[in-house]
A and B are shown apart, each in its own frame.
Chain A
Amino acid sequence: MITYLIRRVLLMIPTLLVISLLVFIIIELPPGDYIESYIAQLEAQGEQANPELLNFLRQQYGLDKPAYERYFGWVTGMVQGDFGFSFEYRMPVSEVIGDRLLLTILISIATIMFTWIIAFPIALYSATHQYSWGDYGLTLLGLLGLATPNFLLALIMLYFANVVFGTSIGGLMDPEFLDQPWSVDKAISVLEHLWVPVVVIGTAGTAGMIRRLRANLLDELGKHYVTAARAKGLPGYKVLIKYPLRVAINFMVGDIGHLLPSVISGAELVAIVLSLPTTGPILIAALQSQDMYLAGSFLMFLSMLTVVGVLISDIALTFLDPRIRLEQGADR
């Protein structure tokens, strides 16, 4: 088990390296660099850029060096905890991101929890009452959730919150806590605001989850071991809890790897609509202005989050599923 853990963690290194390379290439793909888009921006405002300053900036940030040198510089820096410098904000990337990354992780985890809590009972009901009106109704609702774009749902909720309750639910905390150090009140305020993006982002994921979980449960319910358990005299709900649900938990844990990327990418647009202080808006702005270190580091953080999430789900699975744990080297 220990060797397995070590091996899996070591395997993350080449994975992340490949991701970093891809991220770098994609960011480099658009023609020009930050300085050029900066000049364009200045010229659009009718100002003249100072060529000397621009050259200085180029040298300062190493933009005159070949791409591979910049790549190695970036990667080695990241390993040492230096994520580069944001051109746009004129401060180290880590300072720009800081809180936002934490909030992104918070929203992601809350969203996954929300997805599970909603999807699980609904899927259970749908599977045990297959082809009933309840099943059809919930299926319809789920499909609606699946088909509604997140940002649209976010807009609708913003509108109704404003019209009906007269409050703004944008952001992740009340305005007075912005840029304030963390406190109990601030945390409560965050929790008060958190549910809106969580519901919005979670809806689509929940709908998909219900469908997958329902199909999974239906498969399990038809299996012989369920009949065998009933033949022992177990009441229906106990059979359900002990056997098919147990199998479904494996499935849910295994699904984390699938859920995380969609939660994170789904969150970006919603974050803009709801003006959440997460990584989404800043990432998109950074990509637009070719603020490459900021964008790159963001993407790396998110990849890291996904890779770690998958690792956690894999490790959890080995604990949950004896077939994975024990079948190694089994002689059949």
Chain B
Amino acid sequence: MTDLLKINNLQIDFEIPRGVVHAVRDFSFSVRPGTIVALVGESGSGKSVTAQAIMGLLPAKARITGGEILFYEPNYWGEPIDLAKLKPESEQMRSIRGRYISMIFQDAMASFSQLHTIGDQVSEALFLHGNVSRKEGMEQTERMLDLVGFPNPADALGLYPFELSGGLRQRAMIAMALVCRPSLVIADESTTALDVSVQAQILKLIKDLRQELGLAVLLITHDLGVVANLADEVVVVHQGKVMESGTIEDIFGDSRHPYLKALFSAVPQFGMKDNQRLVPVTDIDFELGPLISDRQPWPEEANDDRPMLEVKNIYKSFRTRKGSFFGTGKQTVVEAVKDVSFTIKRGECFGLIGESGSGKSSVSKCIMRAYSPDSGMILFNDRGNIVDLAGLREKDLYPYRPKIQMVFQEPFSSLNPRMTVFDVIREPLVIHKVGDAASQREIVMELMRAVGLDPRFLNRYPHSFSGGQAQRIGIARALALKPDLIVFDEPVSALDVSIQAQVLNLMRDLQEELGLTYLFITHNLAVVDYVADNIAVMCQGRLVEMAPHSSLFKSPIHPYTRALMAAVPFADLHHPLDFEALMDGRMSDPAAWPGPFTVDPSNSQGSSLDFIEVDSEHFVLASSEFSGERVLRSVS
């Protein structure tokens, strides 16, 4: 046997109060030394459970009920060992775990103890498995940190995890998994929680390390873009079964299994035609009733070209007091939003993209007036009446509250678990005293049908729904008061791709049928390209570029937008990631942008920069000497 890992007919069951769930049924696949095998599937497909079984880290309720996990490492043992037969806490299993097979987890912050230094935690496995002296071990640890790209590995040894940036934490975790030079590393969604720019760097790192250390990697992910850029072989799993497996060329070039085909057509791609629709694995049938779709028409004189919402030069900063334990502490001012202006036309979907910490959510909260902007105007078109929401007091805001509604990122945490779905959707109607109990019930039933859910489920609680259904409940709640503008804050980033397609399509259909205006906030560029008409890009509190979706992604001008584009992994073998274009992770540092885009960090107002129109409706943040035509020519 030349396979490093060979899984034959693996079966894993979970005991739950109501019986037994077969989480993994008849899995078979193998990993050869030095290759990257991707285990692709959606949540609940059994991919993470398989990884836990290999590591001997299954939860207490799970049991391996059949099959074998053969691990063959000539340096360790002359013949293959069946890991499925080993007791998880046995000495033999422990001598393999961490030494020959290790794991990179999803959430680096949670996977480090905050009370132990990086050096301590990274070196731990080394001292456990290897017979090394303290000094030698720390040197090896330092070299490993150097290898994963720590700028000052010697200093990093003494740091605590919370002192590192997200990207460095992820690198430290990779170092922790690799410090014993294992022959197999399991990467469980290890880039899913990261921003695209950091994700691209980590992907590059995994690729480089594979070469350097001769690693085999079992990559567990649901992101086909990541798979296309890293994997040699692909195993597609669905509901505990292997659907299809083969080399990456086979799978991506000629996917035969309907599930995989469905998965591909559910992923938004760049440059889809405006009328092209995503094809979800299962479609949602929805039905609009008169109680929702009968909307008061706009008065005749209001039917002009004035925009739905106009945000003008808003600023928002936050004061934080750190280390108050040590006395007064140092007060820091974080400028979350700096001079942001944009307009949302009536009936369009306006996309706002940016990485975590870019200030995009702060902008949405200013529009919702959950925050009050420090300065600037938020002009809302209330059917011909232009109101500045930024200047209104809480009491005066009340009549405008129903007209702008919001859908949140985490479907479950935005629904009260102690309220039935009926109460959840009805709550806005109660707050704004719409109709009596009987008519409210009618409206709620209609809303359920409008998002494709059966009104018979109204008495259930949110936890009995899937993530996608819960998000649709959130949309139904947002529709209850017949708003004109809906703010979507990362509405699909917590959902699997096939569910994501369902929800995106539903959103598009509702917008069309009801004539709604959307503000769509996300960090996923392909998603925003699919739903949005106009897109603005935010970085470090500033808007850097704004354009119609067709021209933004075809001819991005601002270096940040370009770097962002370059960092998106495509689910397409002919379009691999260009790792050279990543600017070494400095792309989100305004001071590192080349002229004429450089932002002087000492000049926090950024007043020397202007929003310059380089093409029709295509704006970019640059200094005034910037000539749009020249750049456009150089781009094309």
Contact = CB atoms under 8 A, between A and B. Distances in A.
Interface of A: 3-4, 7-8, 223-225, 227-236, 242-243, 246-247, 250, 314, 318, 320-324, 326-331
26 contacts: A4-B327, A7-B327, A224-B110, A225-B112, A227-B57, A228-B105, A228-B176, A229-B113, A229-B124, A230-B57, A231-B103, A231-B105, A232-B97, A232-B102, A232-B125, A232-B128, A233-B97, A233-B125, A246-B113, A250-B115, A326-B162, A327-B323, A328-B330, A329-B329, A330-B322, A330-B323
Interface residues on B, range: 35 or more
A93 B129 CA distance: 64
B347 to A, nearest CB: 39
Given A228-B111, A233-B129, A329 B124 contact: no
A329 B97 contact: no
A322 B89 contact: no
A237 to B, nearest CB: 10
Contacts of B125: 232-233
Q: Among the interface residues A8, A232, A322, A327, which one has the most CB atoms of the partner chain B within 10 A?
A: A232
Contacts of A243: 113, 116
B4 to A, nearest CB: 18
A329 B113 CA distance: 21
A277 to B, nearest CB: 39
A233 B99 contact: yes
Contacts of B330: 328-329
Interface in B313-333: 322-323, 325-327, 329-330, 332
Q: Is the interface of B mostly helix, strand, loop or mixed?
A: mixed
Nearest to B323: A328
A264 to B, nearest CB: 25
Q: Among the interface residues B89, B96, B111, B129, which one has the most CB atoms of the partner chain A within 10 A?
A: B111
B192 interface: no
Contacts of A318: 325
Given A3-B327, A233-B129, A329-B330, A223 B99 contact: no
A233 B111 contact: no
Given A224-B110, A235-B94, A320-B115, 12 more contacts: A4-B326, A229-B113, A231-B57, A231-B97, A231-B103, A234-B94, A234-B98, A235-B89, A246-B113, A326-B163, A327-B162, A330-B162
B461 interface: no
Contacts of B325: 314, 318, 324, 328
Q: Among the interface residues B103, B125, B323, which one has the most CB atoms of the partner chain A within 10 A?
A: B323
Contacts of A232: 97-98, 102, 124-125, 128, 176
Contacts of A3: 327
A231 B98 contact: yes
A329 B330 CA distance: 6
A4 B98 CA distance: 42
Contacts of B282: none
Contacts of B332: 329, 331
B95 interface: yes
Nearest to A230: B57
B572 interface: no
Nearest to A226: B113
A329 to B, nearest CB: 5
Contacts of A247: 113, 115
A2 to B, nearest CB: 11
A151 B281 CA distance: 69
Given A235-B94, A323-B160, A328 B322 contact: yes
A7 to B, nearest CB: 5
Contacts of A250: 115
Nearest to B113: A225
A298 to B, nearest CB: 31
A234 B128 CA distance: 7
Contacts of B163: 326, 330
B26 interface: no
B55 interface: yes
A328 B329 contact: yes
Nearest to B166: A332
A228 B206 CA distance: 19
A31 to B, nearest CB: 43
A329 B329 CA distance: 7
Contacts of B162: 323, 326-327, 330
A328 B326 contact: yes
B322 A327 contact: yes
A223 B322 contact: no
A328 B162 CA distance: 12
A233 B105 CA distance: 15
